[in-house]
Amino acid sequence: MSDLLAIGYPWIKAFHIMAVIAWMAGLFYLPRLFVYHAEQVGQKGDTHALFMTMEMKLLRVIMNPAMIASWVLGLCLVAIPGVVDWSVIWPWTKLLGVVAMTVFHMWLAKRRKAFAAGRDQLSGRQYRMMNEVPTLLMVLIVLSVVIKF
């Protein structure tokens, strides 16, 4: 199996990068939608319904599949002999960042459900602050992989 993965390494890596880009785009955009939803739209009316549709489709059609693809392809890369040396720090910091990003993704999904139930309690300012989380995690992950500290 690892021989097959090694042969497909460039393809696996390319599709992993594309999946991560799609996932990150959603992680950047969904909190921004929540900002506008909380500040401008409220929890009732046609615009609320429109925002609910946009948020749900972004999460289910783009973010969830991209997250799953990122994880599956990343695990395939890890399974290729010689790609990751677990005796150094960088794979662990990357793993920590990816797990944190997944937890953030799940938190966003819960926030979307709170909007859908009409019980969201966070302000636009709080969502703006949360919008910085994926940037910080991206910095950790990219520096881990590129610098390999």
Across the chain, which has 149 residues, the per-10-residue mean pLDDT values are 83 97 98 93 85 96 98 96 93 98 98 90 92 96 93
Tell me the three state secondary structure of residue 121. coil
Block residue for tokens 């794979």: 91
What is the tens place of the pLDDT at every residue in 18-39?
999 999 999 999 999 999 999 9
Q: In this structure, are residues 12 and 73 in contact, taking their beta carbons and an 8 Å threshold?
A: yes
| Structure confidence at residue 135 (pLDDT) | 96
Cα separation, 40 vs 2, whole angstroms? 52
Neighbours of 9 (CB within 10 A): 14
Residue 2: the pLDDT is 67
Using only C-alpha atoms, what is the Rg of the chain?
18
pTM, 2 dp: 0.92
Q: What is the pLDDT of residue 13?
A: 96
**According to the model, what pLDDT value does residue 64 have?**
98
